[in-house]
């Protein structure tokens, strides 16, 4: 069973909703699951073998302010992340065509850059067609958890 840390990047709460909904589908399988909006350094990932990044996009393709320090710390410290596997749920809105899911894409890129192995494809949720992002995320996690 995996020891999963769900990392939430959110400004207005959808990320938290999604994190709680997917947690509720992982725990019954026997996985240990913690959720945090406060990870700011690689030390905060310790003790978890699997990460699930849930990251909204704000501004113009930007990472939410609570997750930005983690991105900056990874770019600065260049840690070896090869011991981690991760999944990625990006929350965005196609109304922002040019920057759709930019925050999640940046987090995906930084984890890959430093050696973490992504399980499955990045999952992108479009708020312009899906006002309830947790519903789509739950469907996705049912397949993702088979990869853990
Ligand atoms: C001010 C503002 C700017 C946004 N900019 C983008 C953007 O550039 N690209 C995108 O895909 N979504 C953008 N969004 C949509 C959010 O990422 C989307 O609504 C998401 O579900 C919000 O998640 P949260 O409640 O966890 O912050 C923006 C939303 C707001 C309110």
DSSP letter for each residue of 49-78: SEEEEEE--BTTTBPPTTTHHHHHHHHHH-
CATH of span 3-147: 3.40.50.360
As a whole number, mean pLDDT of residues 116-142 equals 97
pLDDT value for 103:
98
Nearest CA to ligand 1 atom 22: 56
Nearest CA to ligand 1 atom 12: 92
pLDDT at 38: 98
Ligand 1 atom index nearest CA of 16: 26
What is the share, in percent, of the chain residues with pLDDT greater than 90? 100
Q: pLDDT digit string (tens) for 64-103?
A: 999 999 999 999 999 999 999 999 999 999 999 999 999 9
Which residues are paired to 54 by β-bridges? 8, 89
Q: What is the mean pLDDT of residues 24-51?
A: 97
pLDDT for residue 136: 96
Name the helix (H) or strand (E) containing 80.
none
Encode pLDDT of 94-106 as tens digits: 999 999 999 999 9
What are the boundaries of each domain within the chain?
3-147
Report the pLDDT averaged over residues 128-144. 96
41 band by pLDDT with thresholds 50, 70 and 90: very high
Q: What is the pLDDT of residue 118?
A: 98
CA atoms of 67 and 89, how far apart (whole Å): 14
> Average pLDDT of the chain?
98
How far, in Å, CA of 16 to CA of 32, rounded?
Answer: 18
Is the pTM for the entire model greater than 0.85? yes
pLDDT computed for residue 74 by the predictor: 98
pLDDT of residue 19: 98
Instruction: Calculate how far, in angstroms, residue 138's C-alpha sits from the geometric centre of ligand 1.
Output: 20
Give the single-character DSSP code of 43: G
Determine the pLDDT at residue 79: 98
């Amino acid at each position: 069973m995996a020891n999963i840390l769900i990392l939430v990047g959110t400004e207005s709460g959808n990320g938290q909703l999604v994190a709680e909904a997917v947690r509720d589908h992982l725990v019954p399988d026997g996985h240990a699951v913690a959720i945090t909006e406060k990870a700011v350094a690689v030390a905060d990932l310790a003790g978890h073998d699997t990460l699930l990044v849930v990251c909204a996009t704000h501004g113009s393709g930007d990472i939410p302010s609570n997750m930005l320090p983690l991105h900056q710390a990874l770019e600065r410290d260049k840690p070896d992340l090869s011991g981690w596997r991760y999944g990625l749920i990006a929350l965005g809105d196609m109304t922002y065509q040019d920057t759709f899911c930019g925050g999640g894409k940046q987090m995906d890129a930084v984890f890959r850059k430093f050696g973490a192995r992504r399980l499955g494809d990045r999952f992108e949720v479009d708020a312009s067609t899906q006002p309830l992002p947790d519903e789509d995320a739950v469907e996705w996690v049912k397949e993702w958890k088979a990869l853990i």
